[in-house]
Structure 1
Amino acid sequence: MSSTVYPTFGICHLSASRSGNDLLNADPLGSYISGNPHLQTMHSHSFYHLVYFRSGAGTHTVDFETFPVEPGMIYFMKPGQVHLWNFEGVPEGYIVNFSPVFFDQLFISGGFIDRFPFFIPHAGRQVLLLPEERRAETEALLEAVVREQQQQEPSSQLMIASLLIQLFLQVDRYSEQKYRHEAAGYQSAVLRKFEQLIETHFRTKRLPREYAELLHITPSYLNALCRDLPGTSAGELIRNRVILEAKRLLVNFERSVSAVAQELNFHDTSYFIRFFKKYNGLTPEQFRRSFRPQQQTYRQEEQDH
């Protein structure tokens, strides 16, 4: 494992589920946390990650943004995101981890996941507090997923896939109602496509007009759409994704600031430093220094093992 401030785990590194399945596991949250104490420090995953809290308190930090833990809260994460739990006691709920190829191997296009805004890190919908009237249905679906995972009956993986799709669609339906002011139909579809394009091209395309060209719309229409729906400019959405990736790279201490700048296609390190400080309030070195105590803790844990 590399000597970075945080490790990246695959499903095979997780011990709560004993099925030996490296494409998916689903567990009650309490046993998952007890069986995986190494997940209590900052880490990332190579898989999709869904967490639902039936009870509990504390905080959950995802990509350097901290959220409360409370009953009815559901989190969605994509591969590569970094997160950290800080629980008060042991929470109860459900956790589902699945490989990017889980749906593909069942002849279901895994690309359909990209249509859901809660799997787009910068779309602002990865953390949702479900209303009480929707929680029983959500919990029943997740309980069924866990049961199928434990029993491993014939066609269990296909059954799990169908249950997850149903869950995603139900959460998406609630999300659309919650964000109804963001409009529906064509405008909503264009915005989702823009968010997907940012995820694909943020390293090489920084200008709204470049994305407008890919979307076959004018830059002014794209900006108007962004200001009407998420309430920000197209340029800010692009910048936020670049800054997020810079943060993820900076807490890997083996990379120099100049190497991070190069990886993000900043050909002038000084400009990258000014850019980062302007929009984050700290220089890259100041930001990464705030994570050094955790790096030392993680390395000590590695030595102890």
Structure 2
Amino acid sequence: MKEQFPVYDICTISDFKQEDILISRFAPYLQSHKNLALPHKHTFYHMVLFTEGAGTHAVDFTSFAVKPYQIYFMVPGQVHSWAFEGAVDGYIINFSVPFFQSFLLKQDYLDNFQFFDGTTNHAIINIPTELHRQIIYLFEAILHESELNLKLGLDMVKALMLQIFILIARLNTADAPKSTANYNYTLLRNFQKLTNQRFADLKLPKDYAELLYITPNHLNAICKDILGTSAGEVIRNRVILEAKRLLITLNLSVTQIAYNLNFTDSSYFTKFFKKYTGLTPEDFRKTL
């Protein structure tokens, strides 16, 4: 493990630096960027479709088996690593945060897609057989378009990518809670966005409920109904996730991490971390 945890921006691994996007078949990408198999972060969005291969890939410390016709999505800031077995191939698209902003009037349009909410279990999707040909066609069309350098070519790439996003989003429609009002689901998404932004300084459900203009009981009921967990646990899990991300960087001391997460002192942070993970921060580092 390196002292400085690697964080990659789109320019360090893209041949299209001025356009904020990288499009490639996966096998040559992996061959060119073998160091990306080690734990690292991205400052950009990351989408991979596997068409062949095996092994594991880990997103935010949760490991998944690699399977053909599995697609996964990552948002900026997530921790990621690979451990492949044998040959692996597919497609990869990396794109920057502002890539779609000049293309769409609604700059937060990607927030509509659950797989871009930063929640690990939403980001890994197995594509059903009936969609294999359509998904492959779209990825091939994106690759082809990126090689032609025609007028409005990047706009065509964006339009094709949006087709993929919409097709994948439709797969999750059946999984949405039928009895939950759209209003409550919107509140939950807003709560999750707020926890991603304010987890360091807001630690109590009542703080988030106030920002959402609802009562703490209402917020807790929404989380229990849709997620099966309490609002307090959602906040704690986000704090623990960030603590794990920071602990990978060995040149940050536990005291510095506790300070970054607004704990009163490192001993309180250590007790908190061990209570919910079963490991002290130092022991967690030894597992990496």
Q: TM-score range by the shorter chain?
A: over 0.9
Q: 2:192 aligns with which of 189, 192, 195?
A: 195
Kindly provide the amino acid, as one letter, of the partner of residue 289 in structure 1. K
Q: Provide the residue aligned with 2:11 in structure 1.
A: 12
Structure 2 counterparts to residues 1-305 of structure 1, below 5 A: 4=3, 6-14=5-13, 18-106=15-103, 108-122=105-119, 124-180=121-177, 183=180, 185-291=182-288
| Matched residue SS, 2:97 | coil
Shift of the alpha carbon at 1:229? 0.8
Shift of the alpha carbon at 1:25? 1.0
Mapped to 2, the partners of 1:90 and 1:123 lie a distance apart of 25
Kindly provide the amino acid, as one letter, of the partner of residue 10 in structure 1. D
Which range is displaced more, 173-182 or 262-271?
A: 173-182
Identity of aligned residues (%): 43
Shift of the alpha carbon at 1:244? 0.5
Mapped to 2, the partners of 1:242 and 1:181 lie a distance apart of 30
Kindly provide the amino acid, as one letter, of the partner of residue 182 in structure 2. G
CA RMSD, Structure 1 to Structure 2 (Å): 1.8
| Matched residue SS, 1:31 | helix
**Per-residue CA distance 1:172-195 (angstroms, 9 max, x = gap):** 121222344574522221211111
Shift of the alpha carbon at 1:107? 5.3
Kindly provide the amino acid, as one letter, of the partner of residue 60 in structure 1. H
| Matched residue SS, 1:252 | coil
Which range is displaced more, 248-257 or 120-129?
A: 120-129
Shift of the alpha carbon at 1:233? 0.8
**Please, which runs of 5 or more residues in structure 1 have no aligned partner?**
292-305
Higher RCO (CA 8 Å, separation ≥ 6 residues): 1
Mapped to 2, the partners of 1:251 and 1:96 lie a distance apart of 26
| Matched residue SS, 2:98 | coil
| Matched residue SS, 2:92 | strand
Which range is displaced more, 260-269 or 150-159?
A: 150-159
Shift of the alpha carbon at 1:162? 1.5
**Please, which runs of 5 or more residues in structure 2 have no aligned partner?**
none
Shift of the alpha carbon at 1:257? 0.3
TM-score by length of 2: 0.93
